[in-house]
Amino acid sequence: MQKRNLSNLEVSAIGLGCMGMSFSYGPAKDKNEMISLLRDSVERGVTFFDTAEVYGPLVNEELVGEALEPYKDKVVIATKFGFELDPTGKAKWVGLTSKPVDIKKAVEGSLKRLRVEAIDLLYQHRVDPTVPIEEVAGAVKELIQSGKVKHFGLSEASAETIRRAHSVQPVTAVQSEYSIWWRKPEASVIPTLEELGIGFVPYSPLGRGFLTGKIEADASFESNDFRSTLPRFAPDALSANQNVVRILEDMAKKKDATPGQIALAWILAQKRWMVPIPGTTKLNRLEENIGAAQVELSTADLKEIEDAYSKLKVLGERYPEHIEAMTGK
């Protein structure tokens, strides 16, 4: 697969988001099947893998660590700290913690679960408003100096926060939701990253599956599927937003591709330093996503997509209010 650079970190042009293998999208998948999928992805050229302490919690890191241990010198594993866990290990989604002592404790746990000597890319999962970002960056800087972390990243941070963190410890990558139907980062975050030479890692580049065209207007989700809580997946929004998929379907027909591949190719065409991390639990979807790197969208193609999209109004917020409040600080 083609390679791209997140600042000075080289990774495959398309990465793999691992969260859904054990968290958020229904019951955890079979461990052995997911180990096989992770290893198949390496054999197909994927070198960039995304996990987090809170996914599971803890078990997703364990899965990724076991699966990728034979390849740990050939891949880049990114993980995250920042959510509070109670003594049983259950995530407290309303609690954030980025105190330096908690960051260092989280890193020790992640190193063991990932079975690595150093974390390739360590993100702050969400900005903690109670801890100055300079203290967070300083703690990660110490971890880098001690050899336990190689690169520093932020997730869902504002342009101002990125600048402040970068002044203490250079930020290699920023991860935020970004796709053709969620484009808020274009306002200030993406220009800031371009100015500072920081890479961008869009998560949910397929709109949590919606942009693949496989989610019908009358779809419903189980209570243990995160999408059941999201305004954009409410019945009225699912119906109204099918128009976004139709734009991708029209271009897909011209390119002999799938709507999902067009959604990923659209991101790849924005900037050379963007690396989307679509998640999947199926080999055929993995191969489809990887194939997006071979889809070329011309300037005319991009304009056609943009012109069509500009006439639409996407219905529904991406998160409920209490979760959205944790982003962009």
C-alpha 273/C-alpha 193 separation (Å) is: 9
Contact yes or no for 241/314 (Cβ under 8 A): yes
Exactly one of 55, 123, 178, 203 is catalytic; name it.
Answer: 55
Instruction: Please confirm, yes or no, whether 178 is among the known catalytic residues.
Output: no
C-alpha 165/C-alpha 329 separation (Å) is: 12
Residue 44 sits at φ, ψ, to 5 deg, of -95, 5
**Paired residues of 96 in beta bridges:** 83
The catalytic residue positions are 55
